[in-house]
Each structure stands twice: as C-alpha cells, then as structure tokens.
Amino acid sequence: MSEPWRTILTLVAGFGTGVLSGMFGVGGAVVSTPAIRALGATPLEGVGSTLPSILPSAASGSLRYRREGLIIGRVALWTSSAGVVAAVGGALLSDVVPGDGHVLMIVTAALLGFTAYRTARPPAPVQEPATIGIEDPVGDLVTPTADLEAHPEPCAAYPEPRRDQRWRLGVTGLAAGGISGLLGVGGGILMVPVFIGWIRLTIKEAVATSLVCVGVLAVPGTITHAFLGNVVWSFAIPLSIGVIPGAQLGAHLAIRASDQALRLAVGIVLGTIAVVYAAGEILALI
C-alpha cells in the first residue's frame, strides 16, 4: 500500500477512534490498534503507536463534557494521580510478556468484554424508603424516631451515596494505569465499569470522568513506549489529528443520548469489538 493511502486510512481510523473515545470514555485504541495493525504495524507497535493519540482525543472530548458539568474533579484527580506511576510500570512490562504482543491483544479483548457486560447491565432498582409509622389519636401517620435511627448506614431501602474515598480512587487508578501502559488502551475499559459499579457515578459522569483520566494516564505510557521504540510516528501523528473532531462528535452523541441508550450502545459496540479482537488474535497464535 502506498504511503499516502496509508496516511488517509489512518486519519479515518483516528476519526473513528475519537468518536468511540468521546462517546464511551475508553480511549479509543480498541479501534485504532487493530486498524493500524491491518495497515502493517506489529502487535507491539500497535500498542505503542496508539497511545500518543489518546491525549488529544481525551482533551477534545473532555472540553465538551466540562461544559455540561459531567466531570467529577475529585474522582479524576485522585484516580489519575495514582495511575501515572502504574502506567510506566505497565509499559515496561509490555516488552517482557510472551507471545510477541498477541497475548496482550487477547487480554485487551477480555477486558473489553468485561466492560461491555458491566456497563450495559442496568443498575439495580432503588427502593423507596418504607414508611413505617403508627396512627396518633386523630388519625395522622407518625414515623417513630427510633425507625430513622435504626438505619444510620445505607441499606437496601436507603440508597448509597457516591463512594469516592481516596483509597478506592487510588486502587482504581493503579489498576487502570497499569492496563493503560501494558495494553495501550488508555485504561478507560476498566475505569468506566468501576466508576459506575464501585464508585457509584452515573454512566455519563463515569464516561466523562474516565476520559479525563485516560488522557493523563496516556502521557507516561507514551513516553515509555517511545523510549522502547514501539511508537511508529507515521501512524501516531495521523491518528492524533483524526481523533480531535471525532471525540467532539462522540461526546456530543453521548450527552444527547439517554442513560439506557448509552448503556446499550456501550454493550453492543464494545462487546462486538471484543469478539472480533479475540478471534483474530487467537487465530494468529494458532
């Protein structure tokens, strides 16, 4: 394939990557990695060359989410702070994992499947607090004080608040950072379901906040992979250009979608990519 055509196709892949990144908060490398591999990149080059495009993609989409007030600053700060060091460690490990990069791609597919399942699953219905009381002599319902004091902690009838303790955010950041550096996928494929299920953000807050963290975590991974020689700039630069308008479009679509529609879209798109991803890499190992 000629160089101009390869550049054009890489730009198109970058645009699609940006849409996925902005809409689902997952970095978008799940599209760009197999795309540039089809255009001639090796598995490790596919991991390293996608990371430079994650930062402009995340910045572009995050600006749109910020205008809507969907980014939870405390969660983004503590998660990304903990993940920066882990991202370097993950990038260094990528060179020592056996399988010439194919194993890393299979792990990526497994994580995509996990994200698709956890995000698409509807949240448990919130039960309204039961009204427990007795009638006073004139027939009015009175809720005893003892009943309210019997539930000082959240329970099934009393919805849980956001769980954004620093240790939870730190653990999330360490895991996401390691995945970002190791697999070159930004870490969002772990953060989105964890933010929803463990930290208790809404799906749109999870996507928006994950996108901020994805951008921060991509920086140390990019630097490390560049030193390791895994970044092919003829792929990385067109990807970085294409993702900017794509991320704006993806964020716009996510903001306009209902929570249920967004969950379903995440499940279908990422689940499909996970199956295709895994099948291709398993066949390459056989």
More confident residue, 132 or 258: 258
Select from 91, 104, 110, 66 the least CA-distant residue to 217: 91
Residue 201 tokens, joined: 């953000």
Task: Give backbone dihedrals phi and psi of 142, rounded to 5 degrees, phi first.
Answer: -120, 125
Tokens matching residue 259: 């929570």
pLDDT tens-place string over residues 43-67: 788 878 988 998 899 999 999 999 9
Return the pLDDT at 90. 79
Higher pLDDT, 237 or 130: 237
Taking the C-alpha atoms of residue 153 and residue 138, their distance in angstroms, rounded to an integer, is 33
Q: How confident is the model at residue 151, as a pLDDT?
A: 40
Return the structure tokens found at 97.
Answer: 């994992």
pLDDT-derived band of residue 89, with 50, 70 and 90 as boundaries?
Answer: confident
The pLDDT assigned to 271 comes to 84
Summarised one tens digit per residue, pLDDT across range 141-160 is: 444 444 443 444 444 433 46
Sequence-distant (6+) residues with CB within 8 A of 200 are 160, 161, 162, 163
Nearest Cα residue to 237 out of 26, 63, 3: 3
Sign of CA dihedral 189, 194, 253, 27: negative
* Reported confidence tier of residue 237, pLDDT bands at 50, 70, 90: very high
- With b for 16 or more beta-carbon neighbours within 10 A and e for fewer, the 215-224 pattern comes to bbbbbbbbbb
- Give pTM, 2 decimals: 0.76
3-state secondary structure 71-113: CCHHHHHHHHHHHHHHHHHHHHHCCCCCCCCHHHHHHHHHHHH
- The model's confidence at residue 246, banded by pLDDT at 50, 70 and 90, is very high
Tens-place pLDDT, residues 104-126: 667 777 877 877 887 777 665 55
- pLDDT score recorded for residue 125: 56
Average pLDDT over every residue of 71-90: 90
CA distance 257 to 236: 30
CB contact set of 127 (below 8 Å; sequence gap of 6+): 156, 157
Which pLDDT score is estimated for 124? 59
